[in-house]
A = this chain, B = another copy of it.
Amino acid sequence: MDKAKKHQETASEHKATEQECASASDSTAVMPALNTEEPAASATGALNAALLNPKADIAVLDALENELFALNYAIGEIYSFADVIDPDGATDDRGEALAYLIQKSQEALCAPEIGIVLDRLEANPAILNEKQAAQVKILKRGRAQLVDVPVEEQAALSKLQNESSAVWHKAKLADDWESFEPYLDKIIEAQIRIAGYKNAEKDPYDVWLDEYEHDTDRAFYDTFFSELKDTVVPLLADVVAADQPTERVEGTFGQSRQWALARELVEMEGLDLNRLWIGATEHPFTGGPGRNFVIVTGHVHEDDVLSNVYSILHEGGHALYEQNVDEKLNRTCLCGGSSTGMHEAQSRFFENYIGRSKAFARPLLEIMKRHFPGPLGRLTPNQLYIAVNRVEPSLIRTEADELTYPLHIIVRYEIEQLLFSGEAKASDVPKLWKERYKSYLGVDVSDYQHGPLQDVHWSQGSFGYFPTYALGSAYGAQLKCKMIEDGVDFDGACADGELAPIRAWLGRTIWCHGRSKDPAELIQSACGKPFSAHYFCDYLREKFSSIYRLKA
């Protein structure tokens, strides 16, 4: 199950249970001594039967999926509630329980007999239906992520990640780069080594890019980001030079009314409330045990109503994806989002393409006014539209507007590449960061907290993750174009606050497939052509040229 935004904050702990992206070959070639003591209902018992009857391999597949479903259900629930519900005193016991459950799910997938059965099924496509073929593909890929890495190497990395995370937390608070620096070097070293186990032929950074987003590599992202940079950097310069609109939404917005508003927003987005739970956390996320129990959280600031409105629209997009995977894929490895990038495409679709569109400003404001007639009484839809699209180059990625956001990502992508190629060490990062923020965003990085210590990702060894955020936005722009081409009245739906036609198109082309198609396949099948960055570039150019009245 995909933890979506949750994954951002604590990527390492849960990563092993996600099978969405992986490296290549399964090198488990050792034939195990078969254990004839096992009952026939278990995976290994069914394996024995399979020696006589090939179709019994399907039973092994089903038993494995059943086991992974149950363990991941438990992991998903325990993990998702950790920051929402658990009292502090639960931390250690929860850690122990989670470690055991994650280990069991990895052991189940990595069992040598499972490798044999998956290989045999792959070699016998005739006995597989479409769903089963996809299961075999995804399970093999998830397995390959794990089995090729020596256990002691993986254990050492976990230990390093834990230490490094703790050091990062303190370092960020104390604005102390030096204490984190050696950990960043060590963690890069470990990630390069581990990438070598996964695929010795491939560039290590490419291994990790592919793991987060299947079939992507530096060549892919270089093209994407170069096109994006060529659009955004000059566009941003024009926007900054233009007259800044001054619309702002101000006031005091009480907690309980903001939550009532949030509930109305997820209903408007079209989430099934019968399979949803909404909670409050410091960092909003989407998680939960599965498609029939999705957890969405927000965070209310009483002086800023828009913060939670857009958090909820964003998480609601993730949640729509999770809830709307075809019911037939439930309780299999196919139930979840295709990739981190494709998940982010859905969240940003609802947050930005719909949520920050001109047409949607009217129904959104109507809902907001129902809950806050006082402070919002005189606000017009156009004022709201301008306010939520104000461009302001800033230091913090998570607070960035739609236009400057990709530049934050490009800075990180370029530095990650330099670190993996050995062209830079951790000690070079602050300087690289400063230079690039100045050059791309025109801002001066004043300290480490608001510089290279702002994100948790690197401290947990999540390299290659950042690019998927920008890619998700770009997927969204292409999907939006195609949906309109296919006859969806996008602006009409937004203007009416009646999003069913949009949901129907996304549900049919993307959501229902779960993990059975990779992101590139989804784009190709939904849009009839491969991914291209120009939809996103065009979108940004048109939208912000219009808002800022730039000459064409």
Contact = CB atoms under 8 A, between A and B. Distances in A.
Interface in A58-76: 66-67, 69-71, 73-74
B275 A70 contact: no
A89 interface: yes
Contact of A289 (B35, B70, B97, B289): B97
B37 A90 contact: no
Contacts of A90: 275, 289, 292-293
A276 B36 CA distance: 46
A274 interface: yes
A292 B101 contact: no
As for how many copies of this chain the complex holds, the number is: 2
Contacts of A96: 66, 69-70, 73, 331
Given A74-B78, A74-B101, A77-B81, A292 B66 contact: no
Nearest to A76: B97
A500 interface: no
Given A74-B101, A90-B289, A85 B35 contact: no
A32 interface: yes
A97 B73 contact: yes
Q: Which residue of A36, A277, A293 has the most chain B CB atoms within 10 A of its CB atom?
A: A293
Given A37-B32, A330-B93, A331-B96, A274 B87 contact: yes
A331 B73 CA distance: 21
A413 to B, nearest CB: 38
A176 interface: no
B292 A92 contact: yes
A159 interface: no
A532 B290 CA distance: 52
Interface in A16-75: 32-33, 35-37, 66-67, 69-71, 73-74
Given A74-B101, A81-B77, A93-B293, A276 B69 contact: no
A87 B67 CA distance: 23
Given A35-B37, A93-B292, A330-B93, A78 B88 contact: no
A275 B89 contact: yes
A35 B37 CA distance: 8
Contact of A87 (B70, B94, B293): B293
Nearest to A279: B85
Contacts of A273: 87
Contact of A67 (B32, B69, B100): B100
Contact of A277 (B74, B85, B94, B330): B85
Contacts of A86: 277, 293
Interface of A: 32-33, 35-37, 66-67, 69-71, 73-74, 77-78, 81, 85-90, 92-94, 96-97, 99-101, 272-277, 289-290, 292-293, 330-331
29 contacts: A32-B37, A33-B36, A67-B100, A69-B96, A70-B96, A70-B97, A70-B99, A71-B100, A73-B78, A73-B93, A73-B94, A73-B97, A74-B74, A74-B77, A74-B97, A74-B101, A77-B77, A77-B78, A87-B274, A87-B275, A87-B277, A87-B292, A89-B275, A89-B293, A90-B275, A90-B293, A93-B330, A93-B331, A94-B289
